[in-house]
Structure 1
Amino acid sequence: MNMKLPNFNVKDLMREAGSTISTQVSRVVQLTEEKLNLTSDKTELDSHFEALIERGEATKNLTEKIVKDTEALLVPNPGNRVEDFIFEKIEKKKPQRLSNIEYLGLDLIEAGGTFGPDGSYGAALIKTGQTEQRLGQVERDFIANTGMCFIQPLRKFLDGEMRTITKEKGILETKRLDLDACKSRVRKARSMIGQQAKDGVSPEQMLEQAERELRVAQSEFDRQAEITKLLLEGVGSTQATHLRYLHAFVESQVRYFSQCNKIMNELQKELSSLGGDGPKYEVMCVDDEIDSNRNDIQTEPLNYQRARVLCSYDAKDNLELNLIANEVIFVAECTPLNSDYMHGKQGLLKGLVPKAFLEIMDD
């Protein structure tokens, strides 16, 4: 079988490579001159565009900090965070490791068994160890919920929208450098008008060529600037979405600390029933002593029903949920009853939803 090989022109390939390298070097020189204030030919963006770029950079940098700090809160051990990151990148299941509080629980249980579970101290050690293990499971659930409702969405924003914006900004900067280089060539060609032709090309021809290249460069720059501006203008609208993620994170924290407080109060009662001397100081329970007069706080309704969303709805404020047509959510009557709204659950997100947009599915 005769296989026809592609016809490579080595000279053409070398010429293209040389041209690419020359262009890259020219851009580096331009950037260096701008950094050193050796040129005043830089094309400036309008103030609105500059403000959009600054806001975009601030959004990216601060969101990265929030994600990093939240991850450090959930997994304090930096070695474990690095290990989790590696397993995530190679798409393998993360190792199931015990937390410090779970290790404490195991050691307390072992000590209680050794000292004798029939004695007050041994029994108290075992009960405390079992409680520490319960706290460890609650902590594990909190970490998983926070990762799903807060960290993952913010990461998706950084890896998706912000990465695209960064890429388009880089292209815009390249187009800007090319545009400035074309402007410089036009100025140089105009300064040569009236001189003799060089290499058979008259100054007028050089000017015509340079102006043609300038028009193309200006068009490409304007088009890329419009693309980048549209993307940057969309960054502001993401704050409403990120606010919902923040609400979900705070709610997860509230639930976690509430569960921990309940578990420890139960342990305290169990230890009291075992006898022995209790603490010589008064223990203040958060739920009993802080904000005890806030009787107007409503508990979350338990009688949820499924409901189908009839048509899409944009939340008017932070108390409401955004709805998408035909999605199924859980709803319950508000307390006290409200003729216009219901209490809705959308995954980990919760808020008010208008009744007129719902069709109850559970009778």
Structure 2
Amino acid sequence: FTEEKFGQAEKTELDAHFENLLARADSTKNWTEKILRQTEVLLQPNPSARVEEFLYEKLDRKVPSRVTNGELLAQYMADAASELGPTTPYGKTLIKVAEAEKQLGAAERDFIHTASISFLTPLRNFLEGDWKTISKERRLLQNRRLDLDACKARLKKAKAAEAKATTVPDFQETRPRNYILSASASALWNDEVDKAEQELRVAQTEFDRQAEVTRLLLEGISSTHVNHLRCLHEFVKSQTTYYAQCYRHMLDLQKQLGSSQGAIFPGTFVGTTEPASPPLSSTSPTTTAATMPVVPSVASLAPPGEASLCLEEVAPPASGTRKARVLYDYEAADSSELALLADELITVYSLPGMDPDWLIGERGNKKGKVPVTYLELLS
């Protein structure tokens, strides 16, 4: 090995296909390690907690349940509401937000658990199982190659010595003893060449056998990629489910807070109802940040302290309405809301005292509340 490094010995080269398999295996191992480590950081940003989980795993002990940040925040909010007064507007809101944060924490816990099983565990199994087997067989192949190169060098030296010993003797030599020594050395080197050739055949056979074993393991990397691809789909599915749950919980919370906002702030209303961050919406050239027209107060509307509106008696003015395109399907939660279908056009306007995240929408003879985040206001 040292002579090879200094260029003083012959090295048996592997074929190009085998070298490509080795390079692909190394790349797979390196990127799998990086993806695994960064996914662990994503699921658990606290490095101390990651070290603790690693130690429990190595000791083959169950990792103790840990409270998520969302659940801890929910507990603090609930305690604050209990101390500051659960019947006050602030206390009631704290309780509602605490419940939503608790649900977010539970969703996060489920996501971490699912991602660990479906994604992290297969990656660890590859690094700690298949890759260790491949590394072991590669080391054996390296040893077999060094043995083969040593046998080749030994045979080469033996043949050179044999050729030197069998050169034509000098017949002018006056000492017959030298002829006897020359013939004896030639016979010895013949035996040495035969022995070196036999060792070379054995070393070549062992090298070929080990190369075939290693080749089969390296070709199995393709199956590893297929398995990792399936696990990646599972990870994306669990992450999609997690964020969908978070969005649903926060949308429900937003509805709860919006329904009570009229009672808490009866005299406040923000005229600009353009959504701050509509979900997955694409910007359209016709979308403008115009202010929604406000319909004058109607005597038949419910008082500000009540959340429900008498929508049947609400009549929009001749001017002051806007057209809006629906971005996503929306299923009405109750009779006061208007169900929406993606890409349809509806007429929208606002009422005094309404939650700025909602508008009154009309489609034909139907009307009801619609969420602003599902709309694209048209100029």
TM bin, normalised by shorter chain, reads 0.5 to 0.7
- Report the counterpart of residue 349 of structure 2 in structure 1: none
> C-alpha root-mean-square deviation of aligned residues, in Å?
2.6
Residue 33 (1) aligns with residue 19 (2): no
Q: Which runs of 5+ in 1 are unaligned?
A: 1-29, 296-363
Length, aligned pairs only? 264
Q: CA deviation at 1:159?
A: 2.2
The one-letter amino acid of 2:256's match is E
| Identity value in percent | 46
**1:246, 1:233 → 2: CA distance?**
21
**1:47, 1:261 → 2: CA distance?**
52
Q: CA deviation at 1:289?
A: 4.1
Secondary structure of 1:274 counterpart: helix
2:220 to 214, 234, 239: 234
Residue 99 (1) aligns with residue 68 (2): yes
- Report the counterpart of residue 67 of structure 1 in structure 2: 36
- Report the counterpart of residue 43 of structure 1 in structure 2: 12
The one-letter amino acid of 1:92's match is R
**2:211, 2:225 → 1: CA distance?**
23
The one-letter amino acid of 2:15's match is D
Q: CA deviation at 1:171?
A: 0.6
Residues 179-218 of structure 1 show CA distances to partners (whole Å, capped at 9, x for unaligned) of: 1111111111112114468999822222221111111111
Q: CA deviation at 1:272?
A: 2.2
**1:126, 1:247 → 2: CA distance?**
37
- Report the counterpart of residue 252 of structure 2 in structure 1: 266
Does the 8 A contact of 2:70 with 2:102 survive in 1?
yes
Residue 221 (1) aligns with residue 207 (2): yes
Change (3 A) 1:84 1:200: farther
Does the 8 A contact of 2:100 with 2:250 survive in 1?
yes
Secondary structure of 1:243 counterpart: helix
Secondary structure of 1:221 counterpart: helix
- Report the counterpart of residue 141 of structure 2 in structure 1: 172
TM-score normalised to the size of structure 1?
A: 0.67
Q: CA deviation at 1:258?
A: 0.4
- Report the counterpart of residue 230 of structure 2 in structure 1: 244
Residue 253 (1) aligns with residue 222 (2): no
Correspondence list, 1:42-191, <5 A: 42-191=11-160
The one-letter amino acid of 2:129's match is G
Q: CA deviation at 1:240?
A: 2.3
The one-letter amino acid of 1:148's match is I
**1:104, 1:260 → 2: CA distance?**
15
Q: CA deviation at 1:285?
A: 5.9
**1:207, 1:200 → 2: CA distance?**
10
**2:269, 2:58 → 1: CA distance?**
49
TM-score normalised to the size of structure 2?
A: 0.64
Residues 94-116 of structure 1 show CA distances to partners (whole Å, capped at 9, x for unaligned) of: 01111222221111111111111
Residue 204 (1) aligns with residue 190 (2): yes
